[in-house]
Amino acid sequence: MPIKALQIPTSDGEADAFAAFPDHGERHPGVLMYADGFGIRPVLREMARELAGHGYYVLVPNFFYRHGPTPVIELPAHIGADARPAVFGRLMPLIEAHTTERILRDADAYLRFLTAQPEVSAGPVAVTGYCIGGLLATRTAAAYPGQVAALAAFHAPVGAVEPEFLAEISAQAHFGNAESDVTPEGLDELNRVLDAANVDCTSEIYPGTVHGFTMSDTDDFDPAGLQRHWDRLLPLLARTLVDR
């Protein structure tokens, strides 16, 4: 599965990115994948390749591009508990600077770029993301309902999205929550908000997981949680992008 390095023009410069897609000379449904807060690194390339292998063109932008190209900060091969204080100390100012205005300006640029690629088929796309990337995916789906047919967010702070913003989502959605991120009572409240916003979604707690469970280069990785994520994501994409 090839990986192609790309540069995405935005109103604030150029965002470095990569795409993974089947190299058969065909066009494929597009998926915009947002990384977690640690950004683009080998595990994200592995996940993009895995998804692309199911017949999708997967675009992964460096949403911290204003602070430099990938890697924006140096990361250890395994992001363990001992490395986290120093890593988060450098990442938090970048995350705090990534305002809603920046998120939406960038989302427009990413979607324009994705849908213009010759390997991407016509029609709506999907957005998916992890941790803060799930929040970015949710805001993207809300801001561009005519373009986004599927939304998936994993161990993401979806509750931070305003209810009036959620009401703009027309995509079919799935929210996969870590057990350590939300209580059953908190999930019930989140689901009430999603229901009130008329979001067509499934939202659940993945048993036995902690925040970051999809990422194999962290202490939080849970193989069963990652598989459950694929078991939810792939049928969602098939329903909305392939079988429509």
3-state secondary structure the chain: CCEEEEEEEECCEEEEEEEECCCCCCCECEEEEECCCCCCCHHHHHHHHHHHCCCCEEEEECCCHHHCCCCCCCCCCCECCCCHHHHHHHHHHHHHHCCHHHHHHHHHHHHHHHHHCCCECCCCEEEEEECHHHHHHHHHHHHCCCCEEEEEEECCCHHHCCHHHHCCCCCEEEEEEECCCCCHHHHHHHHHHHHHCCCCEEEEEECCCCCCCCCCCECCCCHHHHHHHHHHHHHHHHHHHHCC
Strand partners, 208: none
Residue 243 has pLDDT above 90, yes or no: no
Sequence ranges of the domains in the chain: 3-242
pLDDT at 7: 98
Are the C-beta atoms of residues 174 and 199 closer than 8 Å to each other? no
Instruction: Give the residue-averaged pLDDT of 41-50.
Output: 98
Instruction: Give the residue-averaged pLDDT of 21-36.
Output: 95
Percent of the chain with pLDDT over 70: 100
Instruction: Give the residue-averaged pLDDT of 52-59.
Output: 98
Q: Could you give the CA distance from residue 191 to residue 111 in angstroms, rounded to a whole number?
A: 28
Q: Give the CATH number of domain 3-242; options: 3.30.470.20, 3.40.50.300, 3.40.50.1820, 1.10.760.10.
A: 3.40.50.1820
Q: Could you give the CA distance from residue 202 to residue 232 in angstroms, rounded to a whole number?
A: 9
> pLDDT band at residue 95, thresholds of 50, 70 and 90?
very high
pLDDT at 202: 97
Residue 210 has pLDDT above 90, yes or no: yes
Q: How far apart are the first and last CA of the chain?
A: 25
Structure tokens given for 11: 């109103």
Are the C-beta atoms of residues 152 and 173 closer than 8 Å to each other? yes
pTM reported for the whole predicted model: 0.97
Helices 132-143 and 100-116, axial angle in degrees (round to 10): 70
pLDDT at 42: 97
Instruction: Give the residue-averaged pLDDT of 15-41.
Output: 96
Q: Could you give the CA distance from residue 119 to residue 16 in angstroms, rounded to a whole number?
A: 19
Pairing of strands 13-20, 3-10: antiparallel
pLDDT at 244: 65
Q: pLDDT, tens digit, for every residue of 151-178?
A: 999 999 998 899 999 999 999 999 999 9
Residue 36 has pLDDT above 90, yes or no: yes
Q: pLDDT, tens digit, for every residue of 108-154?
A: 999 999 999 999 999 999 999 999 999 999 999 999 999 999 999 99
